[in-house]
Amino acid sequence: RRTFRWAWRFTYLSVLGVLGYTGYIIYLDRNPAEQLERDPNKKTLVVLGTGWGSVALLKKLDTENYNVVVVSPRNYFLFTPLLPSCTTGTIEHRSIMEPVRAILRHKRGAVQFYEAEASSIDHERKVVKITDNSEIKGAVVENEIPYDMLVVGVGAENATFGIPGVRENSCFLKEIGDAQRIRKKIMDCVETAAFKDQKDDEINRLMHMVVVGGGPTGVEFAGELQDFFEEDIKKLVPEISPRFKVTLIEALPNVLPSFSKQLIDYTENTLREEKIDIKTKTMVKKVTSETVEAEVVKPDGTKERVVIPYGLLVWATGNAVRPIVKDLMSRIPAQKDSRRGLAVNEYLVVQGTRDIWAIGDCAVAGYAPTAQVAAQEGNFLGSLFNNMAKTESHENRIHELSSQMNLQAGGTPPAEAAQEIEALERRLKKIRDIKPFRYTHQGSMAYIGSEKAVADVSWWNGNFASGGSMTYLFWRSAYLSMCFSTRNRVLVVLDWLKSKAFGRDISRE
Ligand code: FAD
Ligand code: NAI
């Protein structure tokens, strides 16, 4: 009884502590401190993009040291790992978006943000051309921003490999708008299939959801879709539910090629148990408004052409270089052999340039195009720029003190000046000793449906592979802890609870 009372007190105090702490964080969030005004006399640092790389950089950067300007067509940061959950309404899209102006408002030094697309970079004149491509246009839609330092963090676009019909007929899964489009289309297919006296073949086609690309995006989406069907659509639209089918098409012999063999097998078995049809060694060659045409490599090595009718087609075959990056690469001779993005050196400086850095999916630094890499690169550049600013300020002070001593012009007494110079030089030595960027892989995780996940986690000097329901809990807590803000975290938890308790909202907006 006594133990019970103590346990109760402990729980009560813990809950109170968590609530108090959350309240305090929310208060700080809502009441940011005054900011230092921008100083146009300082070096202008232009940052392109508000994705994983750029936001990690902005988080780390002491913005009072530079005249910082951020340009992005998206005025928010998107937490992409939970994007597949938005396609079915497990999570509402705004829960994984963080307004960039809110992020910038919490910096000590004010930052200028322009919602615009950088359309070209002139590295010789050191200017970026920006264009307002939003729906509402003002009198000025194009302008130029001069820079002293430029960070390119524009990410990548969807790869289609020039396959005919892909752009016109498929949905992608990269941006928030893509997830919203998919969510609407799933329900459109279901409602159209349930239309009075709908034809048999047409029901089969409409209820066939095809996912092309067995990388993590395709697998996670297929898992979410099957969950949506099993947990909600089946109950609410039972008359057509036996016809619902998810097919995952992959050109390689297996899905999730970047994971360990053990997890690949586990994933494929789990997906099959979930009744997802996995078609490996199948390469899509053409897409029309109602069918996918693919080449299948048969066990005897011969090839066969198949036509697969679909209602919804989601295309997830990886990344391609954005036009602005291609354009910059074409202007720099040192980039002529680079194919997948801007080749950078170990300090992330774009090869062939002096004051341009590239991070994330648009940079080729020898790592996979993941959020983990982008965030670590952004963080590294933030520290690098902070150090560069410190170096400059220390050098200026040393110069000032030395001049005073040489001219015997008053100010700091010579003995103190000499001491200060010595201390500054020691600090400078430390700052200048900056190590090149080195990526630390913390592991890969993917949700595979039916409340199971797979994880290849780096553990001390080894690797730890696991799959199943416990891994799913680990997946959830890891992503929850990685969400950008407390607001995001609270909203995601509430969405999880809401969809579990009341089911996903199947209304088609
Ligand atoms: P992004 O985050 O894509 O940001 C690019 C930014 O540049 C955006 O703000 C964009 O609007 C802006 N931009 C685009 N064009 C221009 C322009 N012309 N001018 C100015 N700005 C521009 N990785 C993981 O490590 N773990 C995961 O679980 C994971 N899950 C994922 C799930 C999905 C569905 C997807 C699509 C990706 C996932 N990734 C994951 C990969 C990860 O999202 C990317 O590697 C990461 O977003 C790359 O960061 P980035 O900063 O380079 O680009
Ligand atoms: P991906 O490049 O990882 O996978 C694309 C897949 O599509 C490949 O396996 C490829 O063989 C296949 N493919 C290409 N063309 C095809 C065709 N014509 N027909 C059939 N299959 C075809 O792409 P994805 O999944 O979009 O991921 C992009 C990046 O984002 C990767 O680096 C990935 O690691 C990262 N990411 C990580 C996640 C995680 O860690 N949970 C989740 C989502 C993405």
215 lines ligand 1 (CB under 6 A): no
Q: What is the mean pLDDT of residues 445-461?
A: 91
pLDDT in tens, 414-433: 788 888 888 888 888 877 77
pLDDT at 409 over 70: no
E strands in 362-442 = 363-364
Higher pLDDT, 206 or 393: 206
**Amino acid at position 385, single letter:** F
155 lines ligand 1 (CB under 6 A): yes
259 and 179 belong to one structural domain: yes
The pair of structure tokens assigned to 207 is: 């209820």
pLDDT in tens, 18-28: 899 888 888 88
pLDDT at 83: 98
Is there a contact between 131 and 142 (Cβ–Cβ < 8 Å)?
Answer: yes
Is there a contact between 318 and 370 (Cβ–Cβ < 8 Å)?
Answer: no
Distance CA 284, CA 248 (A): 11
- Mean pLDDT over the full length of the chain: 94
pLDDT at 373: 98
Expressed in angstroms and rounded, the spacing between residue 248 Cα and the centre of ligand 1 is 23
pLDDT in tens, 154-191: 999 999 999 999 999 999 999 999 999 999 999 999 99
365 lines ligand 1 (CB under 6 A): no
pLDDT in tens, 364-381: 999 999 999 999 999 999
The total domain count for the chain is 2
Is there a contact between 359 and 152 (Cβ–Cβ < 8 Å)?
Answer: yes
Q: Which helix (H) or strand (E) holds 134?
A: none
pLDDT in tens, 290-331: 999 999 999 999 999 999 999 999 999 999 999 999 999 999
Q: What is the ipTM of this complex?
A: 0.99
The residue whose two tokens read 């087609």 is 313
455 occurs within a structural domain: yes
Is there a contact between 313 and 287 (Cβ–Cβ < 8 Å)?
Answer: yes
313 and 458 belong to one structural domain: yes
Q: What is the mean pLDDT of residues 460-480?
A: 92
pLDDT at 460 over 80: no
Distance CA 348, CA 330 (A): 19
119 and 189 belong to one structural domain: no
32 and 148 belong to one structural domain: yes
Domain enclosing residue 309, as ranges:
166-319+440-502
200 and 280 belong to one structural domain: yes
473 occurs within a structural domain: yes
271 and 337 belong to one structural domain: no
391 occurs within a structural domain: no
The pair of structure tokens assigned to 208 is: 């066939």
305 and 325 belong to one structural domain: no
Name the CA radius of gyration of the chain, rounded: 27
10 and 110 belong to one structural domain: yes
218 lines ligand 2 (CB under 6 A): yes
313 occurs within a structural domain: yes
Half-sphere exposure of 274 (CA within 13 A, CB side): 29
370 and 312 belong to one structural domain: no
388 occurs within a structural domain: no
314 and 329 belong to one structural domain: no
Distance CA 250, CA 213 (A): 5
299 and 444 belong to one structural domain: yes
Q: Tell me the C-alpha to C-alpha distance, in Å, between residue 270 and each of 84, 467, 471.
A: 18, 10, 14
407 occurs within a structural domain: no
Expressed in angstroms and rounded, the spacing between residue 380 Cα and the centre of ligand 2 is 26
287 occurs within a structural domain: yes
Task: Give the residue from 335, 354, 374 where a domain finishes.
Answer: 374
pLDDT at 147: 98
Expressed in angstroms and rounded, the spacing between residue 52 Cα and the centre of ligand 1 is 6
pLDDT at 410: 64
Expressed in angstroms and rounded, the spacing between residue 371 Cα and the centre of ligand 1 is 7
Phi, psi for residue 434 in degrees, rounded to 5: -80, 130
Q: What is the mean pLDDT of residues 444-464?
A: 90
pLDDT at 463: 81
Distance CA 104, CA 389 (A): 19
- Domain with residue 463: its CATH number is 3.50.50.100
Expressed in angstroms and rounded, the spacing between residue 253 Cα and the centre of ligand 2 is 14
247 lines ligand 1 (CB under 6 A): no
pLDDT at 459 over 90: no
252 occurs within a structural domain: yes
**Amino acid at position 333, single letter:** P
Give the ligand whose atoms come closest to the C-alpha of residue 176: 1
Q: What is the mean pLDDT of residues 129-134?
A: 97
Expressed in angstroms and rounded, the spacing between residue 177 Cα and the centre of ligand 1 is 14
DSSP label at 354?
S
207 and 258 belong to one structural domain: yes
Query: For ligand 2, atom 26, which residue shows the shortest CA distance?
Result: 318
